[in-house]
Amino acid sequence: MSTIRGTSSSWREWTILYEDLKFPDGSLLGKGRFGEVHRAYWHQDVAIKLLNMDHVNDDRQLETFKQEVSTFRHTRHENLVLFVGCCLIPPRLGIVMNLCKGQTLYTHIHWRRDRFDMNKIINIAIQLCQGMSYLHGKKIVHKDFRTKNIFVEANNKPVITDFSIFSVKRLCQTSPHDFDIKGLYVPERWLCYLSPELSRMLKTWTSFQQVEELPFNEASDVYSFGTVWYELLTYEFPYKKLFTDAIIWQCCKGIKPGLTNLTVAKEIKDVLVQCWTYKPGERPNFHQLLKTFEKLPRKRLERSPSQPVHLSRSAESIF
């Protein structure tokens, strides 16, 4: 039997031996620069995310992994994926969590093109704000809040995943399907979630060796939520037809798609304007957003048409 050396008592209760996990045929659920996600069984159906730690020296991988996942141990909320435990014997360093049922919000919006009525959209937004408000109340920043990290389970319950484990150095590794920023490679549409104050830092990097971890905070999470809200309303990403350099330039300048073609109530547009405010200190927090959504007059809210929202230089485009 494997033993775990050098593991403090605070970690022992959360430690799961990799060989104790049972993997069905075809267990691989997803694979990317962040690692692999497999379906498994450990007293219940679980998912294990085996993190890619190649961006860290071998002698520091275990401690770095512990730092990345330590916040998971202290979270319990119905709109956050449930942390079950972790595998702590290199090279298999993985987070074991409850298996999310359903598909990602990204899949619903951009692949299946599911149409949610406004009441469902607001209910999803309320629950997302509840989950994110809980995280921020525990001083946990998500860092990678986007529709690919939100699952929609039964009764349209959103479940937020992958909070607090984001790493820019892990992200900026070469992939043939990604977009080049001065020799750095980032996933398609990732920049749409990045706030102006963080986007400006990208312009200072000229090589992978200069990459540093970005100073994500609560305000940058709120900005990312604004993009998720935009996707829910339009079924599109902002900057849909722009190249990477143009996205960075417009984001740094605070230029956003115009909202004139978005036929919803003013209160709905106001959420976008507030979340995308150029100055981070002027953005609302998730508790304030939650109160805003709860007060929305549902009966007179209109659904956005399927027509695209075009880029504009009007006054409302610059927040």
Catalytic residues: 144
Residue 49 labeled ligand binder = yes
313 pLDDT band, cuts 50/70/90, is very low
- Is 170 within a domain? yes
Q: Which of 58, 81, 98 is the last residue of a domain?
A: 98
End-to-end CA distance of the chain: 59
Whether residues 138 and 262 fall in one domain: yes
The whole-number pLDDT of residue 11 equals 79
What is the span of the domain harbouring residue 22? 9-98
- Which DSSP category does 112 fall into? S
Residue 72 CB partners (closer than 8 Å, separation 6+): 83, 86, 95, 97, 163, 164
In the predicted model, is pLDDT for residue 302 greater than 60? Answer: no
Whether residues 156 and 174 fall in one domain: yes
| Local structure of 45: helix, strand or coil | strand
- For the record, the structure tokens of 175 come out as 């992939």
Whether residues 85 and 209 fall in one domain: no
Mean model confidence pLDDT for the chain: 81
Q: Which of 98, 115, 139 is the last residue of a domain?
A: 98
- Is 57 within a domain? yes
Query: Mind listing the pLDDT tens digit for each residue in 26-52?
Result: 999 988 767 789 999 999 999 999 887
Whether residues 272 and 143 fall in one domain: yes
Whether residues 91 and 176 fall in one domain: no
- Is 17 within a domain? yes
Whether residues 254 and 119 fall in one domain: yes
Whether residues 218 and 292 fall in one domain: yes
Which of these, 168, 169, 189, 166, lies nearest to 177 by C-alpha position? Answer: 189
Whether residues 225 and 93 fall in one domain: no
How many folded domains does the chain comprise?
A: 2
What phi and psi values does residue 84 have, to the nearest 5 degrees?
Answer: -105, -40
Whether residues 44 and 187 fall in one domain: no
